[in-house]
Structure 1
C-alpha cells in the first residue's frame, strides 16, 4: 500500500464519525454484503461517509492492509474499525451496534 493511500484512508477515518468502505455506493451497492451494511446503517439512522473501493484498486487493497481485515465492506466508527458485514449484522441483532452509536453520540433525535 502506498503512503498516499494509507494517508487517504487515515484522513477519512479521522474526519468522519462513521465511514463505510464498500463495493458500490449506498444508492447502488455492488454486492450483497455491502447492501446489508448500508441497510443496517440506514436502520440505525446514522449519517455516514462511504467510499466505493471498486473505483480505486489501490484503495480496495489498501483498506484490507490498513485494517488487517480481508473482506469488504468495512465499517469504522469514531476512528475505530468495527468489522465487516457479518460482524455488523451480529452486533445489530444483539443491540450492540445501536448501543455503540448511541454511546458515541451519533444517533439522530427521534
Structure 2
C-alpha cells in the first residue's frame, strides 16, 4: 500500500488512471499470486493458506463470529443477510458455549461464584 496506495473508495486492487472500470480477473489473480509469494514463507506457499482472495473473506468473517460479534453486525459488514451469513458460516462458529452461558447467567442475575456452570 505504501508504494501503490488504494482507490479513493478504499479498494486495494485498482488500476490507477483506469477510472471506474473493474480490474480484470487476470490482473487481480496475478496481483494475488505475487502478493502471496511476497508475504508467505516457502512452507506456507505449499499450503492452501490464502490460496484464493475469497479465503481471506472467509477467514475474517469466521474470526468476527468467533470473537462474538453479533451476526447482524457481521452480516452488515460482509454484505450478507443474516440468513445467508449463518447458512454459510454457522459451521465455523466454535468455542462460544461458555461465553453464551455466562451472558445468559448475567442477564438472569446469576452469581457465577455460587453457580459456576452458568
Q: Same fold (TM over 0.5)?
A: no
Please report the TM-score for the alignment, with normalisation by the length of structure 1: 0.26
From the two aligned structures, give the one with the greater strand fraction: 1
Query: Which structure has the higher relative contact order (CA within 8 Å, separation 6+)?
Result: 1
Question: Which structure has the bigger radius of gyration?
Answer: 2
